[in-house]
Structure 1
Amino acid sequence: DCPEGETPLSWMLLTTEVVETIEMAVTILRWYTYRWRVEEFHKVLKSGCQSERYRLASDGMKTLLGFLSVIAVELLHVTYLHRTQPDALAIEILNPLQLQVLKAAASQKLPPILTVAWAVESVAFLGGYLEHRRKTPLGIQVLWRGWLKLHDLCQGWQLAIRT
């Protein structure tokens, strides 16, 4: 829909795919929308996971990239839910052990309901996010550092309860 008196916007998506039906055109458009998710994934992989700083032989690099890719997808999921469903329960993004450890590590009084927003901010604080910068959006690097620290704390927790 175009406002009255305005020229409608027209655009063309170039593709190497053969498009002979409306259904195929819709499929190509859907593929195009995934482009942003792929770019966001690569940003997380490069910026957050710092995949480019590693210089390994090809087999070692494949293994590392596989591991980092899993973490990157997890962080994308967490940040997506933080943006779209901040009031969802924290258990949507944390396993029970992570939730228990994050509650124990919390420096502030726990809210009555542990939400995705609380969990993501708590992970960010573990990664060095500063209290006075609450109005600044959470960066992927601070979430990456917090995610790694949470992982380390969970390992320590499991070791402590084993003894």
Structure 2
Amino acid sequence: MWIFAPFQAGSLRNNLVYGPTNKDASRHIHEKVHVSAISVKEQPPPEGVAPVEWVLLTNLTATDAFEAEEKVNWYRLRWKIEEFFNTLKSGCCVEQCRLNTATQLTKMITLKSIIAFKLMYMTKMAALCPEATCTDVLSKIEWQTLYCRIQTTSRLPEHPPTVLQAITWLGQLGGFLNRRAEGLPGIMSLWRGYEILQENVRLFIILNNKNCG
């Protein structure tokens, strides 16, 4: 149980400097910033453990417990948001893209955002539902290609592998060593593995297309 206690913090004078401080002293931010403060305290805490207590500052409205809880729940998603943008920037390398127009850039970011979400979804599924079928995270052609590549065989199994097996194999394509103490593959290994898998899928489709040639 958590106790949410919003209260108005009034106005804070922000005298922060942005950018290098040795070039332009006029870049101080002198405007008042109106904020609300939300006090959050764990009740009751586990026996023998000090309660978790936050004080969050926000420029959004938080005048009652409902609005305070809403803002706190948004803040609790912060780490997942950090993970998403780390995947988008480090894994999908979105910052390295050099396109000519904003329209092209928007389309590329949209596509890679879908991939970043899919990779995050895979890791969560592997952690929460490891024995679920991998068709929850991979298409039929993807898991079949992945199985044939990892097992070095053209003979498919009767049933799809589990999510845990598929995620482990996908990580191995990206350099994951699958040592006992390593746990699940990380986002970077999954991203590299997913790129390799897509190339393999194209080849798999060509080789299994009876109309080809």
- TM-score w.r.t. the length of structure 1 is 0.85
| CA spacing shift, 1:147–1:16, aligned 2, 3 Å | same
1:65 to 100, 109, 115: 109
| 1:115 equivalent in structure 2 | 162
Q: Matches of 2:104 and 2:111 in 1, distance apart?
A: 11
In structure 2, the gaps of 5 or more residues are 1-43
Which one has a larger percent helix, Structure 1 or Structure 2? Answer: 1
Aligned to 2:54, the other structure's residue is in SS state coil
Aligned to 1:135, the other structure's residue is in SS state helix
CA RMSD of aligned residues (A): 2.5
1:24 aligns with 2:67: yes
Q: How does 1:4-23 map to 2 (within 5 A)?
A: 8-23=51-66
Q: Matches of 2:128 and 2:192 in 1, distance apart?
A: 22
Amino acid of the structure 1 residue aligned with 2:173: L
Which one has a larger percent strand, Structure 1 or Structure 2? Answer: 2
| Worse-superposed segment, 52-61 or 94-103 | 52-61
Q: Matches of 1:3 and 1:125 in 2, distance apart?
A: 40
Q: Which has the larger radius of gyration?
A: 2
| CA spacing shift, 1:104–1:7, aligned 2, 3 Å | closer
2:121 to 50, 69, 77: 77
Instruction: Spell out, residue by residue over 1:115-160, the C-alpha distance to the aligned partner (whole angstroms, 9 max, x if none).
Output: 11100011111122225x3422422121111111111111111122
| 2:140 equivalent in structure 1 | 96
Of structures 1 and 2, the one scoring higher in RCO (CA 8 A, sep 6+) is 1
In structure 1, the gaps of 5 or more residues are none
| 2:90 equivalent in structure 1 | 47
- TM-score w.r.t. the length of structure 2 is 0.67
Q: How many pairs align? A: 162
Instruction: Spell out, residue by residue over 1:43-68, the C-alpha distance to the aligned partner (whole angstroms, 9 max, x if none).
Output: 10111112222222233322221111
| 2:6 equivalent in structure 1 | none
1:139 to 186, 189, 192: 186
| 1:158 equivalent in structure 2 | 205
